[in-house]
Amino acid sequence: MSKRQVNIPLYIIASILFGLKTYIVYRFIFNISLDNPMQELILFINPFASAFLIFAVSVWFVKKRQLKFLRYTAFLGTIILYFNLIFYRNFTDFITIPVLFQGSNAADLGSSILSLVHLQDLLLFADVAIIWYLSRKRPEDMAVSYRKRAKTMALSMSLLFLLFNYVLAEIERPQLLQRTFDREYLVKNLGVFNYHIYDIALQSKTKAQRVFADGTEMPEIKKYVDNNATSEQKSDLFGIAEDKNVIFVSLESVQSFVINNEVNGEEITPFLNDLIDDSYYFENFYHQTQQGKTSDSEFLVENSLYPLPRGAVYFTHGQNEYNALPEILKEAGYHSSVFHANNKSFWNRDVMYDNIGYDKFFDVDSYEVNEENSIGWGLKDKEFFDQSIKYLQGQQQPFYSKFITLTNHYPFDLDEEDASIDQYDSNSRTLNQYFPTVRYTDEAVQQFFADLKESGLYEDSIIVLMGDHYGISEFHNKAMSQYLGKEEITPYDHVQLQRVPFFIHIPGQEGGVISDIAGQIDVKPTLLHLLGIENEDDITFGTDLFTEDRKDFIALRDGSFISDEYIYSKGQCFNRETGELIETDPTGLDQGNEQDSACQPIKEKVEKELSYSDQIIYGDLFRFYNFEEDE
């Protein structure tokens, strides 16, 4: 008598294959930090827990539909995983629902997306191919027909597996779902698919916040700002630039590690290095952007509010009430404009700029762009500044004009004739190409200064230069550690790499290097201070950088922070000066896990401040507030 052949149902095979593939992506492609064996175990378990739950649903269908469900579910799940992988390669982050609504930006990404697609990515679809093959060639063996009790058992076991995963995650990271600042923790502990379900729930909650907001939150927020952010002091520089033009240059993806540094024995930014000598240069100035990148940096500068943890404020809340810098300057007699050789709808700028009071937006239609003078994301920086001068001269004065550069943008493409220095040599093409494009932008800024002097605008203006966000993500840590001469990039190093250059150049002023911690949240009150404009009723979370009575920390959007003494990142507290890890406190609020008593008081302030800013934006609370009369 022959033994009866035992067939493994396709939903079991699909769960194992899909779970294994997802684990490999988590472990070897995503740069997810694992600090102990428990985290290793959870990371291994969660992709299988998700896969078994999703594919176990198939047993409730008849055989034909069961196989069809498995095929298309495996394909759809792989697409979701792959989109996250592409997004992660660029931003070292995971997709959120608001980012999906920003999909109209994808049409402008061009070569940026193509550079993120690798040939070996086809291997991600190997399990999908196997599932399709088995379902087509052996349908009778692969499908199952269970009684209702067996179906319930299959689904129940999958739910118990998922619950087991969550219990382990809560043991490892208490109050996991209450700590939404760090998406990596959510993916590491729950998996990317459960994270997306949680993200959908969060999106529904935030949409409801505006509906139910009534302004009663404002007195508490105003009290916090008055006690913690607002300074009544005035420095010696108050009004030093009264009635002068303000020219603000946003330096695309320029980080501070290139300043006063070399590659292949060549200075990377010779002009910016020299500019330090006659400018106010803040060497510990941090970008505070999140998923909105350049638009987030604009939002920070214009409003002194934090960007959102998910999506870009410019997109998700572009119609809110704000008390933005252009609006305030307009009341002081300033004309305001933006120069950016990109589509006006990118990041919803046309809507947002109009809402916050900009008078004119010189977008791509204002420029002559052709194949010779453009590369990557568009018009080269030298051409951009050259073509902008005529518009700048034609504006009524005083004016506040913002310039947003493009050339030093991922993937950092540059024509050979425009490269003044050689590429770096590492395993990262992105980092290798970064240095020549930064040098090109440096040369473009030098040319811009010369044009301002020739046009007669230089003496009557103050010129502000600021890096908008990082250019080199954590995905390139190995190459960065090679360039910086470090064994590895620690969480402390990662935070320090979020420093971006910030110059305030006032003709006739000697300036100097300022070492105090600072951030993009501080730009608005600082500029108003220099222009001699008092705005006592404003609600901002930044403070003037030239006063001594300043807030004692800089908060990053993911909950990390920098203070005079400490740097806190990824659940670890470091000495800011030495980078030494401070031992965790076993009696801390995190039950001895990734929590340090030294950093805890500031951490609580950071979480409160970020929460207050989010409440303002999600609830559109400024519609209830009268900025002309303190309430």
Q: Quick one: 186 and 316 in the same domain? A: no
Q: Quick one: 203 and 232 in the same domain? A: no
pLDDT of residue 206: 73
SS percent in the chain: helix, strand, coil, step 5? 50, 10, 40
| Distance (Å, whole) CA 372 – CA 366 | 17
Q: Quick one: 406 and 539 in the same domain? A: yes
3-state secondary structure of 459: helix
Residue 584 counted as domain residue: yes
pLDDT of residue 277: 95
Among 22, 73, 206, 294, which one carries the catalytic annotation? Answer: 294
| Distance (Å, whole) CA 94 – CA 39 | 19
Residue 214 counted as domain residue: no
| Distance (Å, whole) CA 324 – CA 352 | 11
| Distance (Å, whole) CA 458 – CA 397 | 13
pLDDT of residue 542: 95
Tell me the pTM.
Answer: 0.80
CATH of the domain at 355: 3.40.720.10
Give the end-to-end CA distance of the chain in Å, rounded to a whole number.
Answer: 90
Q: Quick one: 203 and 294 in the same domain? A: no
Give the β-pairing of 461-467 and 502-505: antiparallel
Range(s) of the domain holding residue 34: 10-209
Q: Quick one: 242 and 294 in the same domain? A: yes
pLDDT of residue 586: 35
Q: Quick one: 426 and 516 in the same domain? A: yes
**Mean pLDDT of residues grouped by 10 in the chain (631 residues)?**
62 92 91 82 92 89 87 94 86 74 55 76 93 85 79 87 87 68 78 86 78 90 89 88 97 98 97 97 97 94 95 88 96 97 86 95 94 89 97 96 95 93 95 97 98 96 97 93 95 96 95 96 97 89 91 94 94 93 53 62 94 95 79 39
| Distance (Å, whole) CA 468 – CA 470 | 7
Burial 505-528 (b: 16+ CB within 10 A, else e): bbeeeebeebeebbbbbbbbbbbb
| Distance (Å, whole) CA 577 – CA 565 | 7
Q: Quick one: 366 and 484 in the same domain? A: yes
Q: Quick one: 157 and 256 in the same domain? A: no
pLDDT of residue 589: 42
Q: Quick one: 487 and 525 in the same domain? A: yes
Q: CB within 8 A of 329, min separation 6: which ones?
A: 246, 336, 400, 531, 533
Residue 56 counted as domain residue: yes
Residue 631 counted as domain residue: no
Is 206 catalytic? The answer is no
Q: Quick one: 205 and 253 in the same domain? A: no
Q: Which residue has the tokens 């208490």?
A: 174
pLDDT of residue 112: 63
Q: Quick one: 616 and 511 in the same domain? A: yes
pLDDT of residue 209: 81
- How many distinct structural domains can be found in the chain? 2
Q: Quick one: 277 and 196 in the same domain? A: no
